[in-house]
Chain A
């Protein structure tokens, strides 16, 4: 490896399991010039709130921020599709000089009349933080004028990383919670937090809960509705997936309404089953039969899934995997899922992992696994080479890195259009990994072709 590949200032953000004590530096500002894979605060907020389909999402800033987030996600809606449009105040030089408040007000006036949304989220971008537009005052005024919640999302890009964006999104959503009637909600009820309904995944999960006899009050935020979030405090339990994207909301709801929460994952076999069993366990005092129903459900699903997995495992046994994901919570589940396929995870990285996340990753991964926080293309490519990886799991920015070096790839971020959650999702996931790992094209890529000589 080129000695310059890892910059001195980044050395404490990389760890090899089994080699010394883990003391991972994380949640740190990205290093200038390091070509981080990370985005910004605005991105974090936009990701979380994006799938609320009956709300207006207005980006207050120059055009780029809105246009690069226009309909790039795989978040599906069973009804309205307002979230798939890209709205911006498209700030111009004169707005920057004289302030953009009037334009924002006019834009909200125009868009709310045109689309009659149930609420409006107004995202502040870097420049709004600098020119000092009073977003909160404009939102308050427009809220009164239009009779719907108009919520400022304080997501100036430079004020941290994606993680701060999650918090800004949760703060905005929390203002909706508690605004609707809850008397007709079942005692066996949950809110699904931190799932974005990529390729309809939330519908798979909701079907499991339906079979278990559990009512889902609000999807937060996949296939989300403003009204549902308004009554979400009436649910008996919050289920939080994803690395903290909506954890702050769950904490606020616990504090204010006493709603308990548990962390779950719908990816892979164990984590999917465990999550359902945990929910059953939570409600077993109210409805003792729920445990049996859940066991039946899991057994049914597994009986369909396991023979298929076994077939693919024969081909995949021993192949090596690297993954670089946004939130590290997903990495736990993926690591276990790959074990079911007989594959060996040799590198795990994330954009926003915490010390606790990396400690857990060290605990469950094999010795010699590379753990990395806030990586960049040169590091990732060096690790791919060093570990001679067969499959890389990441997002759009990581795909060409893997492909250029002749390595299979699985897209596992918000832009994917394949459902990978639930038992059926595990099957889709396995099929995708199998298809990529077993494709004959690798015989022709320079790195592999040379080896075979």
Chain B
């Protein structure tokens, strides 16, 4: 196993997105919330466009739309005016303000502006306003995501609430379908869950008669305020920053934080179910026993088609780690695992989740772009690529299948509904991978066997 730092200067086809995008996505998963980017208009518009291409849902992100004079004299007035306009038009319960590289660099003091705002407009019925610092020259969209989650927990949940036995789940950047699945699992354990953020409806909503100013769904602000009264927090992801929403609740209110990996593959899923057993005092419900059993059965049925296949996995640090955990179990050799993120401990995390089953030691690279991934992986002769849509160009060049998972999936339909978590999500991915290998075998075979 190796990790390698970049040996070049420029970035070609980045394997990451910018910090404020992650924050905007997280803010989108709160009830009555309007994400607000403090910066020039382009940032909000570009990110909306990008997010829409995956979710195919309206994504209204407000902007302070700074122009040249604001860049010189400071963006405070426009920030305040912008929030007032958002209040008039959207009547939000909460506005999530994230900075951009522009406002970070001109040194706008957002907490101070918001203080002034509360003083100046305190007589109005103000929404909750949460702010997070997201300079785009520092980290990736995942830092923005985790930063926004932590900001919400710290700025909204400020008092110890009565313990009502619910469980907090900080799910990481997973699909809308995954969030729905997590709710179902908790319900089957008899646990009420506060999932923050909850994009299950806000970014995958129904057809409607009218345009909703703010989509229905999302974590209610009232619930966020009561996260301090939870029985425990489950934070999904082994590469989450040291200081996070979960650790903040633990430090301030003594809410036990269980940091476990994304539940992908049998062993990482087992950890989630064990944790829920501990918290709820109940045994894993029978339906999940059956799902687990079916998954193992499928592992056996399909193992020959995929054993020894060589995979390149890329994307968000925790997703890559989860995929490695799963692939190690089914005998697919990850030859390269890459992420645009840096210093997230991905190598350690992958070592931990593959220990005892992984047959090979993959190259693990943090801080890479697709040029670097391709340079390394091209010679390693992979059989399949696993990650978001941006790997398509390389899959096409190497004539191998791309298993689309993560964000963004904008060259296929239904990216927001791809299941990855739990035995069920793992089952889906397993079937997908086996079928991709069968299809490839069929396509490459001159005989055209119709019975595989």
Interface residues of A (CB under 8 A from B): 4-5, 7, 29-43, 58, 61-71, 84-93, 95-96, 103, 106-107, 110-111, 125-127, 129-131, 157-161, 376-378, 381-382, 384-385, 395-397, 399-401, 403-406, 444-447, 450
Q: In the complex, are the beta carbons of A31 and B85 less than 8 A apart?
A: yes
Residue of B36, B52, B205 ringed by the most chain A CB atoms within 10 A? B52
On whether the beta carbons of A38 and B45 are closer than 8 Å, the reply is yes
B8 to chain A, nearest CB (A): 6
CB within 8 Å of A: which B47-96 residues: 47-50, 52-53, 56-68, 70-71, 78-79, 81-86, 88-91
Report the minimum CB–CB distance from B388 to chain A (whole Å).
12
Chain B residue, CB-CB nearest to A351? B45
Smallest beta-carbon distance A310→chain B, Å: 33
With a cutoff of 8 Å between Cβ atoms, the chain B residues found around residue A35 in the complex are 44, 60-63, 86, 89
Task: Decide: A160 near B67, CB < 8 A? Known: A4-B88, A40-B42.
Answer: yes
Q: A95 contacts which chain B residues (CB < 8 A)?
A: 137
A445 to B69 CA separation, bound complex (whole angstroms) = 46
- By a beta-carbon cutoff of 8 Å, the part of chain B in contact with chain A is 8-14, 16-18, 20-21, 36, 39-50, 52-53, 56-68, 70-71, 78-79, 81-86, 88-91, 100-102, 105-106, 135-138, 140, 205, 207-213, 340, 390, 393
Q: Are A5 and B89 in contact (CB under 8 A)?
A: yes
Number of A-B contacts (CB under 8 A): 246
Q: Tell whether, in the assembled complex, residue B41 and residue A38 are in contact, meaning their CB atoms are under 8 Å apart.
A: yes
User: How far is A106 from B6 in the complex, measured between Cα atoms in Å?
Assistant: 14
Contact assessment for A64 and B70 in the assembled complex, using a CB-CB cutoff below 8 Å: no
Q: How far is the CB of A42 from chain B (nearest CB, A)?
A: 6
Residues of chain A within 8 A of B46, CB atoms compared = 39-40, 43, 64-65, 68-69
CB closest chain-A residue, reference B75: A32
**Chain B residues with CB below 8 A from A69, complex form:** 46
Evaluate whether A157 and B40 lie within 8 angstroms (CB atoms) in the complex, with A29-B65, A88-B11, A91-B137 already known.
yes
B344 to chain A, nearest CB (A): 16
- Return the contact of B11 from the options A7, A66, A159, A444 (Cβ within 8 A): A66
Among candidates A30, A34, A70, A127, residue contacting B13 with C-beta atoms closer than 8 Å:
A70
Residues of A with C-beta under 8 A to B71? 126, 129-130, 158
Chain B residue nearest in CB terms to A42 = B42
User: Top 7 A-B pairs ranked by shortest CB distance?
Assistant: A40-B42, A64-B18, A33-B85, A381-B211, A33-B82, A32-B82, A107-B10
Contact in complex: A397, B65 (CB < 8 Å): no
Q: Which residues of B contact A38 (CB under 8 A)?
A: 41-42, 45
Whether the Cβ atoms of B41 and A161 lie closer than 8 Å is yes
Known: A35-B60, A93-B135. A158 touches B209 (CB 8 A): no
CA distance A406 to B43 in the complex (A): 28
Beyond A38-B45, A42-B42, A396-B49, is A33–B84 a contact (Cβ under 8 Å)? yes
Contact check, A63 vs B58: say whether CB atoms are below 8 A apart. no
Q: Which of B36, B45, B84, B100 contacts A39 (CB 8 A)?
A: B45
Minimum CB–CB distance from A44 to chain B (whole Å) comes to 9
Q: A43-B42, A84-B393, A126-B101 given; name 20 further pairs at CB < 8 Å.
A: A33-B64, A35-B62, A35-B63, A35-B86, A37-B45, A42-B42, A64-B46, A68-B50, A86-B14, A88-B14, A91-B137, A92-B137, A96-B101, A127-B105, A131-B105, A158-B39, A160-B68, A395-B49, A396-B52, A400-B56
